[in-house]
A and B are shown apart, each in its own frame.
Chain A
Amino acid sequence: MAMRSLAANKLRTFLTALGIIIGVASVISMISIGEGARSQTLTTIAKFGTNIITVKPGQKKNRHVRSGKVETLTLEDAYAIDKHIRRITGVAAQVYQSKQLKYGNKNSNSLVRGVGPAYARLANFKIDRGRFFSEQEVKSFRKVAVVGATVVKNLFQDADPVGKILKVEGNNYVVIGSTEPKGALSWFDPDDQIFVPVSTAQKRIFGMDHVEAIDVQAKNIEDIEAIKKDVKQLIRERHNIPLGKDSDFFVQNSSEWLNSWGDAAKTFTYLLGGIAAISLMVGGIGIMNIMLVSVTERTREIGIRKAIGAKRKEILQQFLIESVFISFLGGGVGIGLGIIISKTVSKIGGWDTIVSFQTILLAFGFSVAIGVFFGFYPANKAAKLNPIEALRYE
């Protein structure tokens, strides 16, 4: 019965449903884009390891890093951490700068990262060919290098680089290994770098005494806070910082990053979803509007139905079914459209989008709820019509 009047006003039904279609489609595509961005960010951050504590020179105040030219951390600090701090599985000091690399007639400007032997494990770099350098090679300032996958591709044309001689700033380095690709981030390609012993990098390439960061790997994630405290205390002692004075370094860990990024992405998703929900709401108001018109137009019909014995509940049901059907229809089409939009976005923008079952359920449930909510007032108005007046209505 309800379907008949919808079928009789096909264009009107479609236009009314369009509001819901757009609303649901935008909810689904927005949330899927937001969720995709979130999971992409989290997986890339997780690639760098979540149980890593990083000590950096400078000061951290209220989330802002005041660094400038600070040269307070040394390789000895790293050794001290390795020696004195318990419940850790590795320490790697690092220095890094972009330098000119040359092999044969090929050039590239890549990051040269001076690190300790534990770095490959800490930063989740897997050895593809050859090996990583040893503690012994660090101690003896050896001129060896491990190259990243992008470097292998650009300089060595994907040939086996092990044993080849690579020129770093004009000096010869023996390539002893290469790493498996990790995949580029939008702002940084971790594979476009080479690793050399931190001591070699300090003395022979960069000419510096300090280190730019010390990575500490915790054995268990639960210990991270305790280890951070211990590290802080140890280095304050080593730097002779009196009580009550600010440290000349700061300690942070990647899970903090992960959390703040995750939170940011979540906020982003909520924001997008919220905007989309508003359009869904507007669609709902459209339904209410058209249902009110429909009730007025069909006053006489309502009068007839009441005269032949329709109860209030039955009139209410009839109009509610209509509005719920419109939003149901809109929800269904909107879901299809939303999925298409998010797939298109991921194809064109190269973004990951995640259309989860929960998102679909949420959007669908929401649209049907809107059909009930915005359909109720007009339906109730219809149900409460006085049969005599309704019959007399022209």
Chain B
Amino acid sequence: MIQVEQLGKIYQLGRHELAALRDVSFEIESGEYVAVMGPSGSGKSTLMNLLGCLDLPTSGKYRLESTDVQDLNQDQLAGVRNKRIGFVFQNFNLLPRATALENIELPLLYGRVPNPREIALDALDKVGLADRAKHRPNELSGGERQRAAIARALVNKPAIILADEPTGNLDSKTGEEIMGIFSDLNRDGTTLILVTHDPIIAGHARRTLKMQDGLLVDDSAVVGENAPC
């Protein structure tokens, strides 16, 4: 489903070049649950941006479901983000002035999907937030906000969900709840990519990609007691 070949990203910082990502290659199959780990500055955020089609690589190839992403223009990238990718951020990134339901409708509106309200309500129900539909983000708890964000991420039935430190702003109990939701989603067939520096969180995934200095240093499928059953 995801094929990354010698992916590189070089940032131009004034006269210096910063290679944030160098020759990274891997494949992710449909239905996988992958954690990307590494210290800050290791290139995991850059990898995340590239996988999420928020940015284009300066070298290499990224193929998402038979689409060569590096050949797309800005609007086509927006289309891919809308239809094929769901984002879950550390700080939730919900629109503060919109209700939970409206936040979840938004990708459907941009995707011109018919009956957005029903689909959004469905997604809310899936994350157990049906009774909070009319609440604004500041009226929700951290866990509820992240659940709303997850509902928004999956509402367009994306090929992959990218989660960037999804539990970083939550207490450990709420974090576990969120991870439970992810595990459920993965069991239902959603491909998940999780960026984290927390090994316990990464332990939920069945495969871990370790990044360092822009290089992929370890790619191991973790099969063990932490994996969800």
User: 0/1 per residue, B102-129, Cβ < 8 Å to A?
Assistant: 0000110011000000000000000000
Q: Return chain B residues, CB-CB under 8 Å to A11.
A: none
Closest chain-A Cβ to B40's Cβ sits at a distance in Å of 14
Complex interface: stretch among A56-64, A219-227, A299-307: A299-307
Docked-complex contact B97 and A300, CB < 8 angstroms: no
Given the interface pairs A5-B97, A308-B110, A310-B110, the reply to whether A388 lies near B55 with Cβ below 8 Å is yes
Q: Does A350 belong to the interface (CB within 8 Å)?
A: no
CA distance A307 to B77 in the complex (A): 10
Most buried by B among A4, A304, A305, A388: A304
Which residue on B lies nearest to A307, using beta carbons? B87
Which residue on B lies nearest to A383, using beta carbons? B74
Q: Please, how many residues of chain B have a CB less than 8 angstroms from a CB on the other chain?
A: 24
Q: Does A169 belong to the interface (CB within 8 Å)?
A: no
Q: Return chain A residues, CB-CB under 8 Å to B87.
A: 307-308
CA distance A303 to B81 in the complex (A): 12
- Interfacial residues of chain B within 42-68, with CB under 8 A of chain A in the complex: 49, 52, 54-55
Given the interface pairs A5-B97, A312-B75, A312-B78, the reply to whether A307 lies near B106 with Cβ below 8 Å is no
Which residue on A lies nearest to B93, using beta carbons? A304
Q: Return chain B residues, CB-CB under 8 Å to A313.
A: 75
Pick from B54, B78, B81, B95: contact of A301, CB below 8 A.
B95
Q: Does A369 belong to the interface (CB within 8 Å)?
A: no
Docked-complex contact A391 and B89, CB < 8 angstroms: yes
Docked-complex contact B93 and A391, CB < 8 angstroms: yes
- Interfacial residues of chain A within 276-333, with CB under 8 A of chain B in the complex: 300-301, 303-314
Q: Return chain B residues, CB-CB under 8 Å to A307.
A: 52, 54, 81, 87, 93
CA distance A300 to B93 in the complex (A): 8
Q: Does B83 belong to the interface (CB within 8 Å)?
A: yes
Q: Return chain B residues, CB-CB under 8 Å to A306.
A: 54, 78, 81
Closest chain-B Cβ to A387's Cβ sits at a distance in Å of 5
Q: Does B152 belong to the interface (CB within 8 Å)?
A: yes
Q: Does B98 belong to the interface (CB within 8 Å)?
A: yes
Q: Does B142 belong to the interface (CB within 8 Å)?
A: no
Closest chain-B Cβ to A311's Cβ sits at a distance in Å of 5
Closest chain-A Cβ to B113's Cβ sits at a distance in Å of 11
Given the interface pairs A305-B106, A309-B79, A309-B111, the reply to whether A4 lies near B97 with Cβ below 8 Å is yes
Given the interface pairs A300-B93, A301-B95, the reply to whether A308 lies near B152 with Cβ below 8 Å is yes
Q: Does B190 belong to the interface (CB within 8 Å)?
A: no
Docked-complex contact A388 and B110, CB < 8 angstroms: no
Docked-complex contact A308 and B97, CB < 8 angstroms: no
Most buried by A among B52, B79, B81, B111: B81
Closest chain-A Cβ to B227's Cβ sits at a distance in Å of 29
Docked-complex contact A311 and B55, CB < 8 angstroms: no
Q: Does B183 belong to the interface (CB within 8 Å)?
A: no
Closest chain-A Cβ to B78's Cβ sits at a distance in Å of 5
Closest chain-B Cβ to A379's Cβ sits at a distance in Å of 16
Q: Does B196 belong to the interface (CB within 8 Å)?
A: no
Q: Return chain B residues, CB-CB under 8 Å to A5.
A: 97
Closest chain-A Cβ to B186's Cβ sits at a distance in Å of 21
Docked-complex contact A309 and B81, CB < 8 angstroms: yes
Pick from B52, B78, B83, B97: contact of A310, CB below 8 A.
B78
Q: Does B191 belong to the interface (CB within 8 Å)?
A: no
- Interfacial residues of chain A within 4-46, with CB under 8 A of chain B in the complex: 4-5, 8
Given the interface pairs A310-B78, A388-B49, the reply to whether A304 lies near B111 with Cβ below 8 Å is no
Closest chain-B Cβ to A4's Cβ sits at a distance in Å of 5
Closest chain-B Cβ to A382's Cβ sits at a distance in Å of 14
Q: Does B3 belong to the interface (CB within 8 Å)?
A: no
Q: Does B82 belong to the interface (CB within 8 Å)?
A: yes
Given the interface pairs A309-B83, A309-B107, the reply to whether A4 lies near B78 with Cβ below 8 Å is no
CA distance A372 to B25 in the complex (A): 47
CA distance A307 to B81 in the complex (A): 6
Which residue on A lies nearest to B76, using beta carbons? A311
* B residues whose Cβ falls under 8 Å from a Cβ of A: 49, 52, 54-55, 74-75, 78-79, 81-83, 87, 89, 93-95, 97-98, 106-107, 110-111, 152, 156
6 A-B interface contacts by CB (under 8 A): A4-B98, A308-B81, A309-B83, A309-B110, A310-B78, A388-B55
* A residues whose Cβ falls under 8 Å from a Cβ of B: 4-5, 8, 300-301, 303-314, 387-388, 391
